[in-house]
């Protein structure tokens, strides 16, 4: 992820995400920078939206009304997409956060990225891979209190992620065998947008390598990059 963003637009599909996720959503978004726009889309005349209503004022989210013209059809998609494109062409926003588990936003995420903007997706584990891979990063969420209880990935997934990290170190290392940690993390996220440090049992990328001293070396405060951290494989 680049340095913290100055203007983030958060767009929430209320008909495709539970209000139980809102605390986790807010905490994750806060890590990315300054949120300038918070909008949530749904048919607020519907009884299904009742659980969301008390949270709108508490979290300063602007509700956008979209009537359900067809029974059984998610009415928010078109309204959210139109708003996103309007905000995109204002050119004020450097990051868009799309909160939904719906694959219908795949093309929207791709289109925003084509304009050079950063896209963070947030949704449940059931989110189709097409939407996940269309984002720069994708965060899988669970209800508050559950997400942090234990690692959310299987050991098989963890092994695949560790293999990806090892390959990335091999591919990105310079002639002396070192790669900048920030460059390494950026590469892994490009390959695996839903990469989550919690699946590796750590909170920070540096912790992962510091805990594996038998396999990796860590170098700090190099003269050519005093504020950077470098990683290499032990020979």
Instruction: Report pLDDT digits (tens) over 6-46.
Output: 899 999 999 888 899 988 888 888 888 889 999 999 988 88
Chain centroid to CA 80: 18
CA distance 90 to 78: 19
CA distance 106 to 120: 12
Determine, yes or no, domain membership for 149.
Answer: no
For the purposes of burial, counting CB atoms within 10 Å of the CB of 10, is it exposed (0-12), middle (13-18) or buried (19 or more)?
A: buried
Determine, yes or no, domain membership for 57.
Answer: yes
CATH number of the domain enclosing 128? 3.40.50.1010
Q: Which of 225, 222, 229 is nearest to 182 (CA)?
A: 229
pTM of the model as a whole: 0.72
The domain total for the chain is 2
pLDDT score, position 111: 97
CATH number of the domain enclosing 184? 3.30.420.610
Whether 79 and 190 map to the same domain: the answer is no
Determine, yes or no, domain membership for 150.
Answer: no
Sheet architecture: strand order including 179-180? 179-180, 225-233, 216-222
pLDDT score, position 4: 80
Residues spanned by the domain of 59: 5-140
For the purposes of burial, counting CB atoms within 10 Å of the CB of 62, is it exposed (0-12), middle (13-18) or buried (19 or more)?
A: exposed
Determine, yes or no, domain membership for 148.
Answer: no
Whether 29 and 117 map to the same domain: the answer is yes
pLDDT score, position 69: 59
pLDDT score, position 127: 93
Query: For the chain, which ranges sit under pLDDT 50?
Result: 72, 144-153
- In DSSP terms, 222 is beta-bridged to 225
Task: Please say whether the beta carbons of 134 and 116 come within 8 A.
Answer: no
Whether 47 and 135 map to the same domain: the answer is yes
Out of 82, 117, 140, pick the residue that ends a domain: 140
């Amino acid at each position: 992820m680049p340095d913290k963003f100055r203007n983030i637009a958060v767009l929430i599909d209320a008909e495709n995400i539970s209000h139980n996720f809102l605390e986790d959503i807010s905490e994750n978004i806060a890590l990315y920078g300054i949120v300038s726009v918070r909008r949530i889309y749904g048919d607020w005349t519907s009884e299904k939206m009742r659980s969301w209503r008390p949270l709108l004022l508490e979290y300063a989210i602007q509700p956008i009304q979209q009537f359900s013209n067809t029974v059984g059809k998610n009415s928010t998609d078109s309204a959210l997409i139109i708003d996103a494109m309007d905000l995109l062409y204002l050119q004020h926003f450097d990051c868009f956060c799309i909160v939904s588990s719906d694959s219908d936003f795949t093309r929207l995420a791709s289109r925003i990225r084509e304009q050079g903007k950063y896209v963070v997706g947030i949704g449940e584990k059931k989110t189709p891979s097409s939407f996940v891979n269309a984002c720069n990063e994708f965060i899988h969420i669970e209800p508050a209190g559950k997400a942090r209880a234990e690692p959310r990935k299987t050991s098989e997934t963890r092994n695949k992620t560790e293999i990806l990290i090892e390959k990335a170190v091999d591919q990105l290392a310079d002639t002396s065998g070192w790669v900048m940690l920030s460059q390494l993390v950026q590469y892994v996220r490009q390959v695996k947008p839903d990469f989550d440090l919690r699946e590796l049992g750590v909170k920070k990328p540096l912790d992962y390598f510091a805990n594996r001293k038998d396999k990796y070396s860590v170098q700090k405060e190099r003269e050519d990059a005093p504020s950077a951290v470098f990683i290499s494989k032990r020979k």
